[in-house]
Structure 1
Amino acid sequence: MPSKEKQLVHDFYTSGFHKDTSILKEYLHKDVTIYWNSSSGFSKLDYEDFARMSSDIGKSYEGLSCEITHLLQEDNKVTIRFTYNANTIENPEEDIALAHFMCIWEVKDGKLYEGYLISQPGDDSEENISSFIPKK
């Protein structure tokens, strides 16, 4: 059974917050800070910045799904590895790997408080896809 912190992180990424940013208040601490290293550089986001960006993403894609491959916890910190797959408005039938992410979240007061996020553009290389297949 997952801990409440791991469940919080899992539920956040599968919540559809990009289509309804009012959901963010259920998951993000009011004083949240996200430190994001992406292929376009470094960004530091607060609650309002993240809500604005999430809304923009929701408008850009027909559908967005989160494929979680790892969810690990140590004390009040949860690490997640996932890929966002998207359907574009122009081609709603085709899923594309939008981006790959890893994030370490600190949970405070039952909400996501501080996140350290790394992302890179998605790809469908065979080695990358096979990294999502659970090893036996």
Structure 2
Amino acid sequence: MKNKKQIEFLYKEDGIRNAAFLDTLLHDDFILEWDSSEGNLFLEKSAIINLANELKQNYEDSFMEISHFIEENNQIVVKYNHKVTTIENPKEFFLIAKVVAIWEFEGDKIKKGYQISKPN
């Protein structure tokens, strides 16, 4: 699967909550530098997979409203709104964060990521 297609699956097909998909997508030496509401975080592959499982457990559904999708060389930039539904209210999506992410590929795996998010 080409890098662009992998990122499209990550966001458009709820791959962000799919631990098995993330395990194949992320390089073993993956690192994410994330400027979040909790400060500047550095997360490895295992932490991202744990986060995917947590998102899957805590939310009924997840939807990424993508406004920008740019690919250049081995990098892809995505700007999106992350919306979810809860188990208690599965019919109503609500915005949990606004996100900009930059993904750097090594071959067909994401080796490095940079992300800025703002909770809603």
The two structures share one fold, judged by TM-score above 0.5: yes
Between the aligned partners of 1:69 and 1:91, the Cα distance in structure 2 is 26
**Distance change (3 Å), C-alpha of 1:5 and 1:18:** closer
Q: CA deviation at 1:19?
A: 4.3
Task: Report Cα offsets for 1:50-104 as digits up to 9, x if no partner.
Answer: 1111111111111111111111122211111011110011111111011111011
- Quote the RMSD (CA, aligned, Å): 1.5
Letter of the aligned partner of 2:106 in structure 1? K
Say whether 1:10 aligns with 2:11.
Answer: no
Q: TM-score, normalised by structure 1?
A: 0.80
TM-score w.r.t. length of structure 2: 0.90
Aligned residue number for residue 110 of structure 1: 108
Are 2:56 and 1:23 aligned?
no
More strand per residue: 2
Mapped to 2, the partners of 1:119 and 1:19 lie a distance apart of: 17
Q: Give the C-alpha shift of residue 18 in structure 1.
A: 4.8
**Higher radius of gyration, 1 or 2:** 1
Report the 3-state secondary structure (helix = DSSP H, G, I; strand = E; otherwise coil) of the residue aligned with 1:9: helix
Do the aligned partners of 1:36 and 1:118 also contact (CA within 8 Å) in 2? yes
User: Within 1, Cα distance between the matches of 2:69 and 2:98?
Assistant: 14
Question: How many angstroms does 1:21 deviate by?
Answer: 0.9
Q: Where do 4+ consecutive residues of structure 1 move more than 3 Å?
A: 17-20
Identity %: 29
Letter in 2 for 1:54: A
Q: How many residues are paired up?
A: 119
The one of 84, 95, 98 aligned to 1:97: 95
In 1, the alpha carbon distance for the partners of 2:25 and 2:95 equals: 25
